[in-house]
Structure 1
Amino acid sequence: MTTEEALKTIGHALDRGYLNQVEEIVFRAVWEGRSYLQTAQMSGYDYGYIKDTAYKLWRSLSGAYSEKVTKHNVKAIVQRGGQKPLQESQFRSEQITDFTTSYQDWGDAIDVSTFYDRTQELTKLQQWIVCDRCRLVTLLGQSGIGKTALSVKLAQLVKPEFKFVIWRSLRDTPTLTELLTDLIQLLAPNTDIPATVGGQLSRLIHCLRESRCLVVLDHFDMLLTGRTQSNQYQLSYEAYGELLRRVAEIPHQSCVVLTSRAKPAEVVAFEGEKLAVRSLPVAGVTPAAAEQILAAKGLQGTPAEIAAIVAHYEGNPLALKIAASSVLDVSNGSIENYLGEQTLDIQTA
């Protein structure tokens, strides 16, 4: 069996149906007889990250083939084939021993159990974070467009790739020292907090190097002066720029995700299509998703009326929810009357 045939075989065996870029590098190397150290040297990835990726891959394949898979027996198991079980949880726990225990702290993250289609955005973001190993990713968009919900859903999807997942809202504008103290206490609970901001930043970067961490900072624009246009920091919050600079510029194995209505200056300086800092403009939801939002609010109308209100608010989820309530409460459920008489003013928050 060739390497390409083996990759296709295990892709079918896994529930997700594919290997990410680093998993494919690891599998190719093991299949062709190279060590983890050689793989790290050839690929440019950290040796520890290659080992951790390999372990997680063997664990996933153990679930797919109902027996323990390692670098030593993977070739034999894939070549002879195996029976894929219905549920990985059916296996005896002693078959697979966890290499790491993920730590998750979701702070004030919102409930996204009801989430409207963002398939294209999530696919691109997962590619950036998991495969391209971006260090800093920014979700940009107007108020109410769904940046917060997208950030939570994204974190839920990629969390298996990280040892630590921390989601924080900056709506209450914590000082940088408050944020850094919070993060360091979670990532390195047995260490002292340095007295200076510079020391705290260095300690955080050390943590981001030592472990694969995902840190989401929602409402980053609350720290900026204009919040929608300006990328300048409010008085006493300029040090956040140094945080972004270090996260963007210094090599580490983690990822920081921001949501914001304005692009911070450090993102402008370091971002690029092929670089480790990238930005994703978040637009309105698709017409189909917008229709689901209106239906969930109990708003009904003709296809033309639904299309008109969706177009009027450019697929902004918050605007659509507010409009649906207004149509029902003020315009007796008539979308036509509402659009003819009212204009929704979405206040900047």
Structure 2
Amino acid sequence: MNLKEMLHFADRIVFDRTGKHLNDLQEAVLRGTVQRETYKEIAKNFDCSESSVRKVGSELWQILSEELDEDINKSNVQSTIQRWQISHVTNFAQDVVAISSFNTCEESRHPPNTPNSNPQNRETSNPEQTPNFHHDLSEIPKLGSFYDRTSELESLKTSILIEKAQLLTLTGIIGIGKTALVTKLVAEIKYQFEYVMWRSLETCPTVTELQSNLSELFTQDANEISHLPLIKYLQKHRCLIILDDIHHLFSRGELAGQYKPGYEDYRSFFKQIRDLSHQSCFLLIGWEVPRDIAKIKNKQIPKFTLTGLDSSFARQILQEQGLEPEENWESLINHYQGNPLWLKTVANFILELGLAVADVLQNQSLLLPQDLKDILQQPLSSLSEAETEVISRLGTEDDVTLAKLLAIAQMPSSDLLDALQSLCRRCLVDKTDKVYVISSVLKQYIKEL
């Protein structure tokens, strides 16, 4: 990344953070830092006090630190941005060139003055402009502690930034960390998109309401033509749109991914996003995805399923919750499958009762506090009768093969197979060596019903 690209990159971050471009002194500080000048030399060249340069530099490093999620200062700003480019945006240079096709801000940037220029004449505009970013992240959850998901992040980035996926899905059992992962993803790649929007579907908007809501952000731009179909904006601009809690669109008591009455239009909407040519990306997050999307097995729709954390990172959760380190932590983590929310819930319960992990593990049965039961009840309450029957059998039997399940389940084989497929799509059932299993947590929950 050369100096011009670095200035351009920093300007985009500052504008997205503050709504203003780099001013003359901020640019002079960054330019001088890259050229290995001291604050004293920068102040002399800019004809201002060294204290002013230090103050502006400190504020600039703080902005960059918060946006890039690294501790940035004068000594490491260049290397950090270079490393960020390599690890997060392998095609950054191409994006800088392509950025000229985006709409630009009406406000122009102002270059720093040369040492011999008059400090009072600093209003000369630079014809170079930066893109006008529109990032509506008002519904994105706050990113708290983030536990390493390096491989998952890189896989998502590859699909979105390199393979240019137009539609992809991320599923996983409740509490596994899907939303947290995508929150981190958005923080790292949002500057590759002119428009970024995050919407939760918990309120179940109709497809017409959703499209209208998304289109509002485009129509706020005075340069845009109003009342175009959403797909036209997606074709014109590079957009990233996150739809969280997509499972709220589906009917209770039906197999996975069956739309509620009145929401069937989402089927044609997602088909349009998938099939028509455009330069944008939709990422769907939930316990399950639409049936018509789940059945597509080719690479047209990349599908990711999130599993539990590695033991080393799950330990961080227990430490942050305030548990004292014990030899039995490994067993506790395995019992709750490295599920962040499950571990936090159990850890809080242990602390409130003044127990130790060893006390909890003395009994053969798992500890299922009411708070955890309430969490598990959410996805289980959506199951069909056939799914409830199948998962009940899996909860009370061991080493259940398909042949055994067909023998003990009181339903037609076709219904059983459909229910089993649906439970797998909901991330409630796994297959291991021809044996169908559910988590020990779900098994204990079913036994206590």
What's the counterpart of residue 124 of structure 1?
A: 155
Q: Distance in 2 between matches of 1:227 and 1:321?
A: 30
| Residues 135 and 256 in structure 1, CA contact (< 8 A), matched pair in contact too | yes
Aligned to 1:221, what secondary structure does the other structure show? helix
* Deviation string, structure 1 residues 17-65 (Cα, Å, up to 9, x no partner): 53856557x5xxxxxxxxxxxxxxxxxxxxxx79525899xxxxxxxxx
Q: Tell me which of 183, 189, 192 is aligned to 1:152.
A: 183
Give 1:187 shift: 2.0
Residues 313-332 of structure 1: matches in 2 within 5 Å?
313-330=336-353, 332=354
Q: Does 1:188 align with 2:219?
A: yes
Cα distance change on mapping 1:160 and 1:228 into 2, 3 Å = farther
* Deviation string, structure 1 residues 108-157 (Cα, Å, up to 9, x no partner): 21111421111111011011101110011111101111111112111111
What's the counterpart of residue 210 of structure 2?
A: 179
Q: Distance in 1 between matches of 2:80 and 2:341?
A: 39
Give 1:97 shift: 3.8
Q: Does 1:290 align with 2:314?
A: yes
What's the counterpart of residue 355 of structure 2?
A: 333
> Over aligned residues, Cα RMSD in angstroms?
3.2
Cα distance change on mapping 1:312 and 1:223 into 2, 3 Å = same
- Number of residues of Structure 1 aligned to a counterpart in Structure 2: 272
* Deviation string, structure 1 residues 151-179 (Cα, Å, up to 9, x no partner): 21111111011001100111111121211
Q: Distance in 1 between matches of 2:253 and 2:86?
A: 40
Cα distance change on mapping 1:266 and 1:251 into 2, 3 Å = farther
What's the counterpart of residue 132 of structure 2?
A: 101
Q: Distance in 2 between matches of 1:204 and 1:326?
A: 47
Q: Distance in 2 between matches of 1:96 and 1:297?
A: 53
| Residues 196 and 240 in structure 2, CA contact (< 8 A), matched pair in contact too | yes
| Residues 221 and 228 in structure 1, CA contact (< 8 A), matched pair in contact too | no
Q: Tell me which of 163, 166, 169 is aligned to 1:135.
A: 166
Residues 21-36 of structure 1: matches in 2 within 5 Å?
22=91, 26=94
What's the counterpart of residue 199 of structure 1?
A: none
What's the counterpart of residue 376 of structure 2?
A: 347
* Deviation string, structure 1 residues 65-100 (Cα, Å, up to 9, x no partner): xx9xxxxxxxxxxxxxxxxxxxxxxxxx97794431
| Residues 211 and 254 in structure 1, CA contact (< 8 A), matched pair in contact too | yes
The unaligned stretches of length 5 or more in structure 1 are: 1-10, 27-48, 57-66, 68-92, 194-201
Cα distance change on mapping 1:108 and 1:230 into 2, 3 Å = same
| Residues 294 and 320 in structure 1, CA contact (< 8 A), matched pair in contact too | yes
Cα distance change on mapping 1:114 and 1:12 into 2, 3 Å = closer
Q: Distance in 2 between matches of 1:329 and 1:12?
A: 42
Cα distance change on mapping 1:95 and 1:270 into 2, 3 Å = farther
Equivalent residue letter for 1:105: D
Cα distance change on mapping 1:343 and 1:98 into 2, 3 Å = farther
Cα distance change on mapping 1:186 and 1:333 into 2, 3 Å = same
| Residues 172 and 307 in structure 2, CA contact (< 8 A), matched pair in contact too | yes
| Residues 170 and 220 in structure 1, CA contact (< 8 A), matched pair in contact too | yes
What's the counterpart of residue 205 of structure 1?
A: 231
* Deviation string, structure 1 residues 268-290 (Cα, Å, up to 9, x no partner): 354533x3x21110111121221
Q: Distance in 1 between matches of 2:232 and 2:305?
A: 30
Q: Distance in 1 between matches of 2:136 and 2:242?
A: 11
Instruction: Give TM-score scaled by structure 1 length.
Output: 0.70
Equivalent residue letter for 2:316: Q
Bigger Rg over Cα:
2
| Residues 242 and 282 in structure 2, CA contact (< 8 A), matched pair in contact too | yes
Higher relative contact order (CA 8 A, sep 6+): 1
Residues 173-322 of structure 1: matches in 2 within 5 Å?
173-189=204-220, 191-193=225-227, 203-226=229-252, 230-270=256-296, 272-273=298-299, 275=300, 277-302=301-326, 304-322=327-345
| Residues 294 and 321 in structure 1, CA contact (< 8 A), matched pair in contact too | yes
Equivalent residue letter for 1:204: L
Q: Distance in 2 between matches of 1:179 and 1:252?
A: 19
Give 1:204 shift: 0.9
| Residues 221 and 227 in structure 1, CA contact (< 8 A), matched pair in contact too | no
Q: Distance in 2 between matches of 1:171 and 1:301?
A: 38
Instruction: Give TM-score scaled by structure 2 length.
Output: 0.55
Q: Distance in 2 between matches of 1:53 and 1:228?
A: 46
Cα distance change on mapping 1:15 and 1:21 into 2, 3 Å = closer
The unaligned stretches of length 5 or more in structure 2 are: 1-78, 103-111, 113-123, 379-449
Q: Distance in 1 between matches of 2:295 and 2:174?
A: 24
Equivalent residue letter for 1:259: I
* Stretch moving more, 332-341 or 306-315: 332-341
Q: Distance in 2 between matches of 1:228 and 1:106?
A: 33
